[in-house]
Amino acid sequence: MNTETVLQEFLPDLVAGLTPSLRDIEVRVIKGGDYPTEYQELRRLIYLEETQWLGADQLFDHNDAVGKHILLYNRDGQLMAATMVAPASSTDFSDQAGVEASFLTHSSYSSRSLVHPSFRRQGLLALVLYLAMRESYEAGFTRYVGFVEPGKIPGWKVLRYNRIDEAESRSEVGADGQTYLLHPIMGEIGESMLRAYLALPEDLKIWVQKHIYLPSLTRKILARVEGFYQLPFFQQVKSNSLQRYAYINSLTNKYQFVKWTTRILGRAVGMCEDTELRRHYAEHLRGEVNHEVWIENDLKYLGVDFDFVRDHQVPDLGVLNFMFVQEAMTASRQDPVTFLGVPLAIEAISGFLDQEFVTQLKANIKRWGYAEPTKACSFFASHVHTDGAVDGHWVGSLKILGPYLKHEKTMQMVEQIIDLVVDSLERAYLSYTVEGLH
């Protein structure tokens, strides 16, 4: 299974099963430089005719050229609202605000959020600000910066950003000859997504739930998985240079959490009031029975002291961190919806194993002197079928999660848990190879 398969084949079906939204909105994201006529006219209307803040030759600038523009259209093709985001380090913010470029490393730049006068008071400002923050989040940024006019303007009422005290304000002369002041501001992207979501009217919240959450979550999972397989461990499998000790390390540590999987899922079943969720976790539990036996058989064929692994070995820090995430979610928080982030992450990682990887792994094992490499990789080989198939575990988790993503807080909790799981496993796999330790 690959990225395009998920986005093109599975995602439309997943989204179609969600609660219908009352708003018919099309989102178009374009790169700077080639601006549709209606977008140029909207900027002219707002910044030249309505506010007279910008001259005709100032409607688009360098920051626009390096950014992405999010445009919202209605069913009749009318442009209702727009905004722009860019990597802050690529804009002129550092020069204008008098701050070091390093200050902007993890920041996006947000600017020019506007709503057509015919579509105001419908929550569209909050929506474009939300989409700007989510675009920034997906790009890997944690903060945003920008310049705003003083006072509690509409954008501040939505996002509640903070002025950057150590940065300089800037003065601009508008098309009307008036001088106006712009203050540098900064905000946290996660907080701002939540604030913007909370400012949405109910129909737009439903629209976000249906049209934004699952596609965004899928892109996040796929990006993390693709990054995971760039680790030295997997690259060495491909190049037939993986060392035996690295593979054994991975299996012995994997055994430490796999042997707990059915018990963790049993807890998940027990904490579910919702019938559908309980059924999902029960089915997942049945699919995990005896997976640790595969690892046991693999290790024994490789000549490992399995009694020690089973009875005495302490998991490495990455695996232990992952185990504690699962245990905390099921023992303390007991939230079966956000807990779905755990199987989403772990099964997605397994789900992108393919037969080519298994063949490459067998070549490494044979190079170590084992005549029957199939007997040493039954665990990895099994997950090509159980997690990576069309009805694999991680796609099943996406299907079940969609209808329960009914709030931005829930969405962000799931995203954070996915990051916790993948970060933990990356730490583990980095520790298995000498190259990963440097």
Q: Are residues 176 and 276 in the same domain?
A: no
Task: Kindly tell me if the per-residue pLDDT of 369 is higher than 60.
Answer: yes
215 located within any domain: no
Q: Are residues 50 and 176 in the same domain?
A: yes
Residues 138 and 32 in one domain: yes
CATH number for the domain that contains residue 149: 3.40.630.30
- Say if 2 falls within a structural domain: no
Same domain? For 48 and 157 the reply is yes
* Domain count across the chain: 2
Predicted confidence band of residue 387 (pLDDT cuts 50, 70, 90): very low
Compute φ and ψ for 436, nearest 5 degrees: -70, -20
From residue 104, alpha-carbon distances to 93, 139, 159, 303 in Å are 9, 14, 19, 52
**pLDDT band at residue 389 using 50, 70 and 90 as cut-offs:** very low
pLDDT interval class at 16 (50, 70, 90): low
Residue 306 has pLDDT above 50, yes or no: yes
pLDDT confidence bin for 391, thresholds 50/70/90: very low
Enter the pTM of the model: 0.90
Residues 65, 38, 145, CA angle at the centre, nearest 5°? 40
Is residue 409 domain-resident?
yes
Same domain, 406 and 269: yes
What would the mean pLDDT of 403-414 be, rounded to a whole number? 95
| CB-CB contact of 35 with 61 (8 Å) | no
Same domain, 87 and 236: no
28-32, 153-157, 227-231, 303-307: least confidently modelled range: 153-157
SS3 (DSSP) at 21: coil
Helices (H) and strands (E) in the chain, counts: 21, 8
Note whether residue 361 is domain-resident.
Answer: yes
- Chain centre to alpha carbon of residue 386: 24
**Neighbouring-strand partners of residue 188:** 143
CATH number at residue 379: 1.20.910.10
Stretch among 104-118, 136-150, 193-207, 344-358 having the lowest mean pLDDT: 344-358
Q: Which domain holds residue 190?
A: 20-200
Pick from 158, 125, 217: nearest CA to 412: 217
The CA-atom distances, in angstroms, between 187 and each of 100, 109, 191, 198 are 17, 10, 8, 16
Residue at 205 is within a domain:
no
CB contact at 8 A, 376 and 365: yes
C-alpha–C-alpha distance, residues 136 and 230, integer Å: 23
Binning pLDDT at 50, 70 and 90, where does residue 396 land? confident
Same domain, 137 and 39: yes
User: Rounded to an integer, what is the distance from CA 166 to the centroid of its chain?
Assistant: 31
Whether 178 and 295 map to the same domain: the answer is: no
